[in-house]
Structure 1
Amino acid sequence: MESSPVLTTVSPATLGTKPHYAILDGLRGVAALMVVAFHLCESHATSHLDQVINHGYLAVDFFFLLSGFVIGYAYDDRWSRLTLKEFFRIRLVRLQPLVVLGMVIGAVCFYFQASPVWPGIAAVPVWKTLLVMLVGFTLLPLPVSMDIRGWHEMHPLNGPGWSLFYEYIANLLYALGVRKFSNPALGILVALAAAALIHLAVTSPAGDVIGGWSLEPEQLRIGFSRMLFPFFAGLLLSRVAPLARFRSAFLLCSLLLVLILAMPRIGGAERLWLNGLYDSLSIVVLFPLIVWLGASGQIAGEKPARLCKFLGDISYPIYMTHFPLVYIYTGWVGTHKPTLAQAVPVALLTFTAAVLLAYASLKLYDEPVRRWLKKKFLAQR
């Protein structure tokens, strides 16, 4: 099981008079939609080798890179007038409302997910589900002993919460110290993190970087390895990469991103390390290239601009609300055992429902709640 992605966004108000990277918003949305498709196809896979949209799990690493880039761009030059308390307030107001909603949706859907995939769900008492939901509101990771689903998730009601846990850690590391690093010092940190990530990918028993969602030593190693390089590489990229001007950058970057995430397994069961090399190449080289191209790109026309805005707007809501629907779909597949071809109508229905749920969550909940929180806690800024 791979839950993703982490989606950091910064509002135009946060950026002040700085230009807004609309293409990066659009790419975040493209990757989020690929994640939904990846998770639906995952329900039919028998192993990592035959997974359709095989490398969709790399969206997590792409989002960490985007997050580091946008955080650096938005905040690096503001610390002379920004306190740590204010920074954390801004981040909580941006991220936390949908964390809460995702856990509520996960709890509501929990008992509709019963199937042979999770034979013990029906026996879970309501009080325990509510307790898991309340802990989920805080994003504090649950131990395996509190896993009510059986997938060893630190947030079993809404699995993608694991990447938000690491997102908050990345924000803490940035605000408490890494923001003060010189570019050479940050470069050394990024190089060491890249070496750790490549070692993880190439030596992994499965030949990939999948993992990070469980409160277990090896899973924690995977989670930190997947967060440290891309987040701080994105931060470094925001500082040192001179931007150019590219036409059709959104189309080019979207196609490249889709190809990377949809690439079939490399090397097969005999040479797993080759897939680890592919993961490493994607995260260390190709994703920074895509972000640089996207940041350098120009949007010509109202329709592409609206598309990028729509994709950016729904990307984080999709992240925080789609997985309870995927749980239900996985339970349906486990009960009825359709082939992927037979399941296409239900998969398309679930995919459409995920997009509609994300848009409704954005307009009816997230935006109104964030407006209220900004007036209450950020108005003085």
Structure 2
Amino acid sequence: MRSIIHQGRIISMATVSQFSVEAPSDAASVQSYFSTLTALRAVAAIWVMLFHIDVIVYYRELGTLLPKEFSGLLTQGYLWVDFFFILSGFVLMHVYGARFEQRLSRQTISSYLKARFFRIYPLHLFTLVLLAIFAGVVGALLPQVMDASWVNYFDEQAFLSNVLMLNAVGVHDTLSWNIVAWSIGAEWWVYIAAIMLFFTVNLKHPLRTLLVAMVNFVALALLMYSSDKQNLDITFDRGLLRCLFEFSIGACLYVFYQRGIAQSALSLNRIALITLVAVIAVLHWRLNDLLIIPLFCLLILTAVYNRSHFYHLLMTPALQYLGKISYSIYMMHGVCFMLYWFLLPELAIAFEIQQLSIPLLMLYTASFLTLTLISAALSFRFIEVPGRVLFRARP
């Protein structure tokens, strides 16, 4: 078996998170809503899911969806978490920036934190409960699946840290439980830190905003080059910093959007196409991870400025719906990851399969996608939406 544990860490388990950047459920929702960004959330969430689908078969030595020597389109999929961090800062600056600039009161802060908490936490806690049940049932019925990765993933000592969203600050030395939720923990603490960021970054001080963006980009570069792998695959240990720096860049980006900088150029279809091709090129050729940050910024701006072909593509009903449930897609695919990670090798042994053929890889991928999308639709309806209603019901 390929080494999946190195110095106490699970290799290549950086995950994207899907973040709460859709129209908020509180009074702030009266502000305009960037519908085109909803579609980009769908693209990012599905890309991350494909990344993890490939991780399972590769590290379980059953094949690969895309030859790694040919392309990094899947192996670099962890970079879409950076898109979500930037997007989160952009949208929340749009929703809350003016409010905090006008009045930094206890009531404003309380309303903001309650809205963010009830947006992310109900589903986060639900997935932890699901995985606790999974670990108990599968561990009792199929003890043979309890390999070294089981000990790391279902570390009982790490459960409370996950409940408290302390899963991206280095409390433990590996990802655990819902491994995609490290980014949710990082986001929560950045939401708190962002209160002062919203107050600092505003339209009246563009030069100061530019300086803040540059400082955060430099800090991100230092963070990346100080890591063992020297890339942005930074999760359970210092993922909070990765989120903070990129969230801040996204908040600054919104100020530039407000000022209409380069709007006429960025609204063109050809600029959107060039940006998309550049993003794919960075992933395909595994170029320096830092290059993706300005490209994601451009992608966001082209999406909100464009009103032509790119706009109509992003407004298709399928992309809009997938974007609407993208947080559930993200969180539920983390649950499905555990199901396939531990049970797929057992099926391979039972049917004496050494490598998954192309038809079997297609069947495996289709089943993973189907299970995730169905469970995401259900969790959105019965967990996410009630969670927002709970917030509205609170005084």
Contact 2:39 2:314 in 1 (8 A): no
Residue number among 222, 245, 254 corresponding to 1:229 in the alignment: 245
Q: Which residue of 2 aligns with 1:152?
A: 174
| Higher alpha-carbon deviation: 82-91 or 48-57 | 48-57
Query: CA 1:20–1:59 in structure 2 vs 1: closer, same or farther (change >3 Å)?
Result: same
Within 5 Å, which residues of 2 pair with 1:365-376?
A: 365-376=383-394
Unmatched 5+ residue regions in structure 1?
214-218, 267-274
Contact 1:194 1:229 in 2 (8 A): yes
Q: Which residue of 2 aligns with 1:181?
A: 200
| Higher alpha-carbon deviation: 357-366 or 367-376 | 367-376
Query: CA 1:332–1:248 in structure 2 vs 1: closer, same or farther (change >3 Å)?
Result: farther
Contact 2:40 2:314 in 1 (8 A): no
Alignment partners' CA distance in 1, 2:169 and 2:229: 24
Q: Give, in angstroms, the shift of residue 254 of structure 1.
A: 9.4
Query: CA 1:301–1:187 in structure 2 vs 1: closer, same or farther (change >3 Å)?
Result: closer
Query: CA 1:4–1:178 in structure 2 vs 1: closer, same or farther (change >3 Å)?
Result: same
Number of equivalenced pairs: 348
Q: Which residue of 2 aligns with 1:270?
A: none
1:55 aligns with 2:76: yes
Residue number among 99, 102, 119 corresponding to 2:147 in the alignment: 119
Alignment partners' CA distance in 2, 1:250 and 1:301: 15
Within 5 Å, which residues of 2 pair with 1:206-285?
A: 206-213=229-236, 219-220=237-238, 223-241=239-257, 242-243=259-260, 244=263, 246=267, 252=273, 255-256=276-277, 259=280, 263-266=283-286, 275=287, 278-283=288-293, 285=294
Percentage of identical aligned residues: 22
Q: Give, in angstroms, the shift of residue 120 of structure 1.
A: 5.5
Residue number among 3, 11, 28 corresponding to 2:41 in the alignment: 28
> What's the secondary structure of 1:322's corresponding residue?
helix
Q: Give, in angstroms, the shift of residue 295 of structure 1.
A: 1.6
Q: Normalised by the size of structure 1, how large is the TM-score?
A: 0.78
| Higher alpha-carbon deviation: 85-94 or 102-111 | 102-111
Unmatched 5+ residue regions in structure 2?
1-12, 62-66, 349-353
Contact 1:197 1:226 in 2 (8 A): yes
Contact 1:65 1:233 in 2 (8 A): yes
Tell me the alpha carbon deviations over residues 315-357 of structure 1, each in whole angstroms, 9 at most, x when there is no partner.
Answer: 1111111112112212244443533734331221011111111
Residue number among 311, 322, 326 corresponding to 2:333 in the alignment: 322
Alignment partners' CA distance in 2, 1:144 and 1:240: 34
Q: Which residue of 1 aligns with 2:5?
A: none
Query: CA 1:16–1:197 in structure 2 vs 1: closer, same or farther (change >3 Å)?
Result: closer
Q: Which residue of 2 aligns with 1:351?
A: 369
> What's the secondary structure of 2:179's corresponding residue?
coil
Query: CA 1:358–1:239 in structure 2 vs 1: closer, same or farther (change >3 Å)?
Result: same
Contact 1:31 1:59 in 2 (8 A): yes
Q: Give, in angstroms, the shift of residue 141 of structure 1.
A: 3.3
Q: Give, in angstroms, the shift of residue 292 of structure 1.
A: 0.8
Residue number among 154, 159, 166 corresponding to 2:186 in the alignment: 166
Contact 2:167 2:186 in 1 (8 A): no
Q: Over the residues paired in the alignment, what is the CA RMSD in angstroms?
A: 3.6
Contact 2:123 2:328 in 1 (8 A): yes
Query: CA 1:16–1:120 in structure 2 vs 1: closer, same or farther (change >3 Å)?
Result: closer
Q: Which residue of 2 aligns with 1:271?
A: none
Tell me the alpha carbon deviations over residues 44-75 of structure 1, each in whole angstroms, 9 at most, x when there is no partner.
Answer: 33599656612100011100000000010000
Q: Give, in angstroms, the shift of residue 308 of structure 1.
A: 4.0
Tell me the alpha carbon deviations over residues 137-187 of structure 1, each in whole angstroms, 9 at most, x when there is no partner.
Answer: 331339989x7xxx812xx22012211111112111111x22221544443
Alignment partners' CA distance in 2, 1:37 and 1:346: 11
Q: Which amino acid aligns with 2:98?
A: D
Contact 1:186 1:236 in 2 (8 A): yes
